[in-house]
Amino acid sequence: MKSGAVKNEVMGLTTTAVTVDDTGHYPGKVIPNGSVLRASTEQRFGMKVTFDSVNKIFKVESGKTGDGSSIAITNVSAAGLALFGLSAATVNKSDLATRGIASEPAIAYGATPTINLSNNFAVDATNNKFVVTVDGIKGTVELPIDSNYSLSTFMAKLEKGINAMGSNGGVGGAPTTVNGVKVSYDAVKNRFVFTTGTTGADSFIKISGSSNWGLETVEAGRGTTSTWIKPTQHSDYVGGAIQPKYIDGAGNETTNGDGFTTLPAWSPIYLDKGELTFDTGGNLVSPVEGTQLETVYLEGGKGALTINIDYSASTQFSSAFAVLSQSQDGAPEGDLVGVTIANDGLVSASFSNGTQKSLAKILLVNFSSPAGLRQIGDSSFLASAASGDPILGTAGSAGFGTLRAGATERANVDLTQELVDLITAQRNFQANAKAIETSSTMTSAIINLRS
């Protein structure tokens, strides 16, 4: 440092002059704000610069977290470039992201064993078999029967048996084997732990065994992996040319890029439509306002459906959710219970859920000269030149009568025939009554003779 320099309290630098070594390294330690240096496994954020003394090159890395990380060295002097062994032409930002979050293996956890494992224990024919599936390979591991197992020897033999499993691959398939499975015991929670040697979403492990080992109902374990998405600037055709498009503060699409080049260095990025983002307190971060879905217009001019979704009351917690409120604007299922016809000819259906629906309307026909109709039956007529053309209309309108449901039209009844039928029915009734009376008299006479 220069003479008279002021101590940098923020970065932990001193005013004492220090000589760098042959490799150009600063031999001291820079401790921000006087804090102790964290272990390397805890240094998860920030840049990392190392020097390869063999190949005489610097290596610049991002932190261990953050998928899609990339590094660029810009605005560096010629002397600085020479120190890093770079030329101006090679100082470019990397387009390829280096994964920072490691994939996780599949882990299966057992329940509490019913056998005391702190002392030596026995393995017999009732508890020495284990059915294991690892990454699609399934087999049965059978431990040797012995009365003098320790916890360490038990885990070692079980682990060896699992890793000895294999598959012939089936017809045309290549043989596969299980490797790297670890069997351990969690002394705090008193349970066995099974960890696969593979990592990622395809890793799988399932084990079942005797309840003596807490393996009667073990849930399968699956590995996890991280994915990264590189956002790209959205563009669309505007006026026949490709133009970048942005979203302004009101949520509208625009081709005006003013203000979009002065965004803060770090800000939330929301990648997918329909995605809700919450902060660590479970509060909604995005979208800030409600969302209006695209209006749907019903067929036949029956109106439009406009749906507004308000996410402002949405939360996300690790506990089970509960319904805050619910409402219903429809009707339950119903069966048809009746059909009615009104005086104006409107046909309506009634349903068991209390709703009614208009089905159709009956039209009436009139003629300028009804007397000119040609009769072709008791109640059937045809239009003729004398009657004129038919005139359609609804019941109750001008020139038309009304309808009465369930009634018989008098003009369709032949009164003479109805009277003859009534007399015939009465005569038949009287004849039947006389026959019954005669039969009763004869029966009484026969009974009297026998007595």
**Listed range (236-250, 262-276, 322-336) with the worst mean pLDDT:** 262-276
Domain that residue 162 falls in: 105-222
More confident residue, 195 or 86: 195
Instruction: Average the pLDDT over 113-132 and give the result.
Output: 92
Residue with tokens 């000819």: 345
Q: Which helix (H) or strand (E) holds 286?
A: strand 284-286
Give Dmax (Cα) for the chain.
Answer: 160
**pLDDT above 70 (res 91):** no
**Listed range (202-206, 296-300, 405-409) with the worst mean pLDDT:** 405-409
Gap between the Cα atoms of 240 and 379, Å rounded: 72
**Listed range (17-21, 123-127, 337-341, 364-368) with the worst mean pLDDT:** 17-21
User: Are 397 and 438 in the same domain?
Assistant: no
- The sign of the CA dihedral 203, 208, 212, 214 is positive
Domain ends where: 285, 318, 351? Answer: 318
User: Are 143 and 201 in the same domain?
Assistant: yes
User: Are 419 and 396 in the same domain?
Assistant: no
**pLDDT above 90 (res 143):** yes
Supply the pLDDT for residue 302: 81
User: Are 348 and 392 in the same domain?
Assistant: yes
User: Are 304 and 343 in the same domain?
Assistant: no
Gap between the Cα atoms of 350 and 403, Å rounded: 19
Gap between the Cα atoms of 308 and 185, Å rounded: 53
Quick: pLDDT tens for 19-72.
555 544 445 554 444 444 444 434 334 456 777 778 777 776 654 344 444 566
Residue 300 lies in a domain: yes
What is the chain's mean pLDDT, rounded?
75
**pLDDT above 60 (res 230):** no
According to DSSP, residue 399 is labeled T
Residue 19 lies in a domain: no
Residue 387 lies in a domain: yes
Gap between the Cα atoms of 129 and 210, Å rounded: 8
Supply the pLDDT for residue 8: 46
Supply the pLDDT for residue 387: 86
User: Are 43 and 122 in the same domain?
Assistant: no
The number of beta carbons lying within 10 Å of the beta carbon of residue 51 is 13
Quick: pLDDT tens for 273-298.
566 777 777 777 777 666 777 788 88
Residue 24 lies in a domain: no
Residue 178 lies in a domain: yes
User: Are 358 and 314 in the same domain?
Assistant: no
Q: Which helix (H) or strand (E) holds 339?
A: strand 336-341
Gap between the Cα atoms of 188 and 371, Å rounded: 105
Supply the pLDDT for residue 440: 80
Instruction: Average the pLDDT over 87-93 and give the result.
Output: 46
- The sign of the CA dihedral 253, 258, 260, 263 is negative
Residue 240 lies in a domain: no
Q: Which of 295, 290, 289, 325 is nearest to 307 (CA)?
A: 295
User: Are 290 and 379 in the same domain?
Assistant: no
Domains of the chain: total: 5
Supply the pLDDT for residue 33: 44
Residue 373 lies in a domain: yes
Gap between the Cα atoms of 315 and 324, Å rounded: 12
Gap between the Cα atoms of 451 and 439, Å rounded: 19
Domain ends where: 318, 353, 384? Answer: 318
User: Are 444 and 367 in the same domain?
Assistant: no
Domain ends where: 364, 381, 402? Answer: 402
User: Are 127 and 217 in the same domain?
Assistant: yes
Residue 153 is part of a domain; what is its CATH number? 2.60.40
Amino acid sitting at position 224: T
Residue 217 lies in a domain: yes
Quick: pLDDT tens for 342-401.
888 899 999 998 888 899 998 888 888 888 888 887 678 888 888 888 888 888 888 888
**pLDDT above 60 (res 120):** yes
User: Are 358 and 281 in the same domain?
Assistant: no
User: Are 184 and 213 in the same domain?
Assistant: yes
3-state secondary structure of 294: coil
Residue 146 backbone class (left: φ over 0; alpha: ψ -120 to 50; beta: rest): beta
How many degrees, rounded to 5, is the angle at CA 114 between CA 109 and CA 117? 85
